[in-house]
Amino acid sequence: MPPPHYYPVLLPLLVLAAVAGVSAGDGGGGEGLERTYIVRVDADAKPSVYPTHAHWYEAAVLAAAGDGAGWPEGGPLIHTYSAAFHGFSARMSPAAAEALASAPGVAAVVPERVRQLSTTRSPRFLGLLSSPPSALLADSDFGADLVIAIVDTGISPAHRSFQDRGLGPVPSRWRGVCASGPGFPPSACNRKLVGARFFSKGYEATSGRMNETAEVRSPLDTDGHGTHTASIAAGAYKVCWVGGCFDSDILAAFDAAVADGVNVISLSVGGVVVPYYLDAIAIGAFGATEAGIVVSASAGNGGPGGLTVTNVAPWMATVGAGSMDRAFPANVRLGNGQVLDGVSVYGGPALESGKMYELVYAGASGGASSASDVYSASMCLDGSLDPAAVRGKIVVCDRGVNSRAAKGDVVRRAGGVGMVLANGAFDGEGLVADCHVLPAIAVGAAAGDRLRKYIASSTKQRPATGTILFEGTHLGVHPAPVVAAFSARGPNPQSPDILKPDLIAPGLNILAAWPSSVGPAGIPSDIRRTEFNILSGTSMACPHVSGLAALLKAAHPTWSPASIKSALMTTAYVRDNSNGTMVDESTGAVAGAFDLGAGHVDPMRAMDPGLVYDITPGDYVNFLCNLNYTEQNIRAVTRRQADCRGARRAGHAGNLNYPSLSATFVAAADDARATTMRTHFIRTATNVGGGERAVYRASVAAPEGCNVTVQPRQLAFRREGQRLSFTVRVEAAVAAPGKRMEPGSSQVRSGALTWSDGRHVVRSPIVVTVQAPLQ
């Protein structure tokens, strides 16, 4: 049975999108070819001659494109925006976009990009018990009267996770709609699923009219990702996987969510990191934040490599993924006596008991369909395996290129009886449990190497043999949590002064709702059906934080989005259930701040953080000033004019009142120069600890080779809501005298600043990065 429905009601905002010959980098446009552009305008700049903004927008596009442009039925506009953002999207040539950018009243013209989806037990693991109710659930009235907008692939409204039994009326401020269509009648919405919309115009403008035999023109989820993420934020648990979403549609979802009156927006999509004034998600999220809405976004699944984090704007909560204390172990028993540990959630018929099957690795042992395509066969790509070579055998497939479940389907169609999915060096020891279509197991890089060597040493007389055994579900696993190998890592590629990800939450092997029309493997050939499914990704971690943000907002209705994020970050923990420092799944080494941000979310402590670091929209403007953005760039993000003279005199981008502190130094190319570099951070803490008087004292765990001082070291608050400021000074020893760093190398050192009044512990990570020039 699924857990009780104790999270807030939600609004799923479906973004119908698919990658149809469109790259994530260019949005589908080429030199001189039409593509979709998002245009931001000054709301009060509409000439009086036009009766509506839409008339003005259409006239502006027509003037920029010239008389020869052809338009689809309905005119050039795709979407118009008026809540989170003022402007429109339209398809035009680069030349027309350039002309439009200089038109009166136009603040910015941004090319559209295609985004990707960042693809149980977590309430108990998070300490959220419904009976008896935890303090957070009780104090927030179980999130009643809050609305979460899920921007994803839609929702399956008939699933029992979205039943409204026992819930009160729809929040009175709700202004949204229940958009109907195939498979989604007007009656699909209720007191829990309060509304639904779908946005497909941007997708269809680029890819052509949708194929309605394969896709549904309604909020109905035919992928699974949206149902999974929505049920995590709403009370059940489900994982999601990869799809595609177009910026113009995502921005339309943001715009509708703000207008509809939501409290939290949960966004499990990501893509290429670009400057904030070119990033439609960052722009939409700023408008939502300015309206008092918390925006939670997935960090991406590009880990474990560095500089892979996405959705890095400081006004969003960027969420990485960790494990829980639950595992799905399986192992490979080899004919030579070795046992290789792995994971799997395969639940179908097992391999014959006691039988050892021949093992084949098509990357080296002749299992390829053609001698010239050994690489494709090693990856088990479609059509790459020779049925005569793999029939009746267990096939070893390298991880990468196609989906993990798709590899198993390729093996099954070629006649294989089982699969071992082996990590390469990049993936390390990070494992994801999948619901495969045949007996299959995932093993880490070290086990994969041993397996390949065993197969390579075999002969016709003594073939390599083995079998796969499944061990079910194990609870109380140690250590937990660990940082999931796939979870995207910092540093922040756009603004290194802002540590990203912000924090991590459960995102590995998450059980959640699943559509009845989609097989659990997520591939067309899978005809099995299930109510719940297990998936992994920062897509799954993000809605956990979205749901917690809604609970905090219900308990503290006057808190700003920045205060809620601060409470989640400064109360996060960095030690696992073995009381050791949290580790990185991919390597087993201690995880750093670029892996887990401030740490793993702790809902109970976040309820009463003691202090918060609040940030106003004006503070974000100053931050953009200190990134050396032009006034035009800033206006593209914030809809306001900016005078940066005061902001730049006051400090640097790192002085944004953020709950973490990140400094980057560039080492001198000449080792004869000074070996110590300095910076400072100014922070302002607000007392929310519940008492009129409180005295907080600072303690510092300085990063290695650094000297960190705090002034003053004591903050004496006289009342609730009082704000007091302090300065943190950091001196970093770049290198020992006479020694130089290798050109292009970097050193990352981590520490922490902690404020405590004896009852609250308010922790902020300190990260110091020293970079050597390329020469």
Q: Domain map of the chain by residue range? A: 35-111, 143-324+482-605, 333-468, 610-615+657-772
Q: Report pLDDT digits (tens) over 570-601.
A: 999 999 999 999 999 999 999 999 999 999 99
Q: Residue 335: is its pLDDT beyond 50?
A: yes
Known catalytic residue at 225: yes
Annotated catalytic residue, options 384, 539, 560, 764: 539
When mean pLDDT is compared across 549-553, 679-683, 684-688, the lowest value belongs to: 549-553
Q: Residue 121: is its pLDDT beyond 50?
A: no
Give the strand order in the sheet containing 244-246.
Answer: 244-246, 114-117, 269-270
Q: Report pLDDT digits (tens) over 30-51.
A: 345 688 999 999 878 888 888 9
Query: Distances from the Cα of 214 to the Cαs of 158, 203, 647, 699, in angstroms?
Result: 20, 15, 52, 59
Structure tokens at 149: 């907008």
When mean pLDDT is compared across 10-19, 333-342, 477-486, 605-614, the lowest value belongs to: 10-19
Q: Are 312 and 300 in contact (CB under 8 A)?
A: no
Contacts of 265 (CB under 8 A, 6+ apart): 148, 149, 151, 254, 257, 285, 288, 293, 294, 295, 296, 546
Query: Distances from the Cα of 239 to the Cαs of 90, 227, 562, in angstroms?
Result: 34, 8, 27
Closest CA to 203 of 247, 233, 243, 160: 247
The Cα–Cα gap between 338 and 451 comes to 9
SS (H, E, C) 473-541: CEECCCCCCCECCCCCCCCCCCCCCCCCCCEEEECCCEEEECCCCCCCCCCCCCCCCCCEEEECCHHHH
Closest CA to 91 of 207, 245, 213: 207
Q: Residue 758: is its pLDDT beyond 70?
A: yes
Q: Which string of DSSP letters, residue by residue, matches 125-182?
A: HTT--BTTBPHHHHHTGGGTT-EEEEEES-B-TTSGGG--TT--PPPTT----B--BT
Closest CA to 405 of 246, 531, 528: 528
Query: Distances from the Cα of 689 to the Cαs of 550, 551, 613, 695, 721, in angstroms?
Result: 19, 17, 13, 11, 9
Helix 631-638 with 617-626: angle, nearest 10 deg: 150
Confidence class for position 3, pLDDT limits 50, 70, 90: very low
According to the model, what pLDDT value does residue 28 have? 38
Return the CATH superfamily for domain 143-324+482-605: Peptidase S8/S53 domain (3.40.50.200)
According to the model, what pLDDT value does residue 241 have? 27
The Cα–Cα gap between 692 and 684 comes to 18
Q: Are 192 and 162 in contact (CB under 8 A)?
A: yes
Closest CA to 569 of 752, 420, 357: 752
Annotated catalytic residue, options 152, 223, 247, 249: 152
Single-letter amino acid code for the residue at 305: G
According to the model, what pLDDT value does residue 14 have? 39
Phi first, then psi, for residue 678 (nearest 5°) are -135, 150
Annotated catalytic residue, options 159, 225, 544, 760: 225
According to the model, what pLDDT value does residue 15 have? 36
Contacts of 703 (CB under 8 A, 6+ apart): 732, 749, 750, 751, 766, 767, 768
Closest CA to 118 of 537, 498, 654: 537
User: Using only C-alpha atoms, what is the Rg of the chain?
Assistant: 27
When mean pLDDT is compared across 243-247, 248-252, 320-324, the lowest value belongs to: 243-247
Q: Report pLDDT digits (tens) over 11-32.
A: 444 333 222 222 233 333 334 5
Q: Residue 682: is its pLDDT beyond 90?
A: yes
Single-letter amino acid code for the residue at 239: V
Contacts of 191 (CB under 8 A, 6+ apart): 9, 164, 167, 168, 169, 170
CB count in 10 Å sphere of residue 619: 18
Q: Residue 111: is its pLDDT beyond 50?
A: yes
Structure tokens at 737: 């005298």
Reduce the DSSP state of residue 359 to 3 states and report it. Answer: strand
- The percentage of the chain sitting over the pLDDT mark of 90, rounded to a whole number, equals 57
Q: What is the DSSP letter of 186?
A: G
Q: Which residue bears the tokens 């290198």?
A: 735
Known catalytic residue at 662: no
The Cα–Cα gap between 766 and 593 comes to 8
Average pLDDT of 531-538?
Answer: 86
Closest CA to 659 of 685, 639, 640, 637: 685
Average pLDDT of 702-731?
Answer: 97
According to the model, what pLDDT value does residue 385 have? 93
Confidence class for position 463, pLDDT limits 50, 70, 90: very high
Q: Residue 744: is its pLDDT beyond 90?
A: no
Q: Residue 520: is its pLDDT beyond 70?
A: yes
Structure tokens at 307: 């500089």
The Cα–Cα gap between 394 and 397 comes to 10
Q: Determine which helix (DSSP H) or strand (DSSP E) holds 288, and give its type and residue range.
A: helix 280-290
- CA 553-554-558 angle, to 5 degrees, is 55
Give the chain's count of helices (H) and strands (E).
19, 34
CATH topology of domain 610-615+657-772: Immunoglobulin-like (2.60.40)
Architecture of domain 333-468: 3-Layer(bba) Sandwich (3.50)
Q: Determine which helix (DSSP H) or strand (DSSP E) holds 257, and give its type and residue range.
A: helix 247-260
Structure tokens at 761: 């512990």
Average pLDDT of 493-497?
Answer: 95
State whether the Cα torsion 587-588-590-591 is positive or negative: positive
Q: Residue 136: is its pLDDT beyond 80?
A: no
